[in-house]
A and B are shown apart, each in its own frame.
Chain A
Amino acid sequence: MSELLKITGLSKSFGRHIVFSGLNIKLTAGKVYGLLGLNGEGKTTLIRILLGVIPADGGEIHYKDSAVSFRSAAYKEEVGYLPEDPFFFGGMRVGELLDFNAAFYRRWDGRRAEELLKRFSLDRKAKIKTLSRGMKLRLEMAVALAARPALLVLDDPTSGLDVLTRHDFLQDIIRELADSGTTILFSTHLVHELERIVDHLFILHRGRLILDEEHEAVKNSIRRVRLSFQGDPPQTLGIDGVLSETREGQRMDVIVYPWSDDKKKKIEGLSPTLLDIEPLTLEDIFRSFVAG
């Protein structure tokens, strides 16, 4: 698999506030990347830099092995984007928006645009401002996908939508993945939505990538360990990688990453009366990384 996008040493500050410094990110073609972080940790800033909306203070971005110039259209033409709050020209009709966008993209696929309108039940003649939020999202998607993007960037596009609309949206994304194998960078605060979809996880926290790992690898090596002792639990379990720890009477709960048989043996050596080892959901994984 080839490297699609490579970000090295990226830094950005707003005034005295450092959003991130020395950030390195690599995207391989055909994979789905989840970008997680609490509000205000710079997810949207990173995405806006990637799209050339705002400049970085330092660092480099390479796309398909050449340095990205935001002045040239070549890179922008291959990147599709669904923002959290889409902007539409008020009076435009669905068809007009498509024709307007078609002019900017050399890779624009008119036939695909029509197929997408049909699949999403969008009427060419409908005024955009009369569309529901869910339909607006589908319109955005039709515009983005008709341009046949090599990289699709999703910046929390489902926030504020109802459960069914979000579900439909995810299914549309999955069909797109199956059809064209687009690389996806998916930022969302609805972490559980990524659970079944992402190949790779990024967690952005306090200006750093505190996690940059395959989803399956994390899932396989992070564990919640529930312990009970005869009397008070020990001061320390004597293992590293404890992301969080809670104590209550004789009980003790820890989340450990990476987990190993060695660590298990060490804990067993403390002779707990109960030792329960459980996997974590993506939401719990996220919480344990950013809570510490």
Chain B
Amino acid sequence: MITIETSGFIPIYEQIKKGIKSEISLGVFKANEVLPSIRDLAAELVVNPNTVARAYRELELEGFICTRKGKASFVSENSSSLIQGEKVKLIEDVFDQAIAEARKFGFDAVEIRRVVESRLKNQHKRGEGEGR
């Protein structure tokens, strides 16, 4: 499920790209599988078909998908190795956002690091509690 939000900084075509990459990484779309047509995805997301076309074009340039001439787009063979690199980027994005929020509240690097450490410890403890 790709979700689009229009109140932030990220353009819709970027959100579609990100959405498809995350679907690939989650195995919703597997290598050589056909992606929804531009028409269908545009209607589903209620966005301009040109926006979906742009997202597909860029995903193709980046090597995640292939498009047969005038036909459907499908997930490319080596998409999963490309996704490995993307995963780091996705996580970095999440951290960037969190750090920006923290800075807004006036936290410095030491305090931010302390929060991250404490969250990691917290998760670790919970993981142990869940039956190991």
Contact = CB atoms under 8 A, between A and B. Distances in A.
Query: Is B truly associated with A?
Result: yes
Interface residues on B, range: 20 to 34
B8 interface: yes
A253 to B, nearest CB: 16
A5 to B, nearest CB: 19
A167 B45 CA distance: 10
Interface in A174-221: 174-175, 177-179, 192, 195-199, 216, 219
B6 A281 contact: yes
A177 B38 CA distance: 11
A195 B11 CA distance: 11
A282 B6 contact: yes
Given A276-B104, A279-B9, A198 B48 contact: yes
Which of B7, B44, B48 gathers most chain A CB within 10 Å? Answer: B48
B48 A177 contact: yes
Interface of B: 4, 6-9, 11-12, 38-39, 42-51, 104
Given A178-B38, A178-B39, A199 B6 contact: no
Given A174-B43, A216-B11, 17 more contacts: A167-B46, A171-B44, A174-B48, A174-B49, A175-B39, A178-B38, A178-B39, A178-B49, A196-B6, A196-B12, A196-B47, A197-B47, A199-B50, A279-B7, A279-B8, A281-B7, A282-B6
A226 to B, nearest CB: 10
Given A196-B4, A282-B6, A175 B45 contact: no
27 contacts: A32-B48, A167-B46, A170-B46, A171-B44, A174-B39, A174-B42, A174-B46, A174-B48, A174-B49, A175-B43, A177-B42, A177-B48, A178-B39, A178-B43, A179-B39, A192-B6, A195-B6, A196-B4, A196-B45, A196-B51, A197-B46, A199-B50, A219-B11, A274-B104, A279-B7, A281-B6, A281-B7
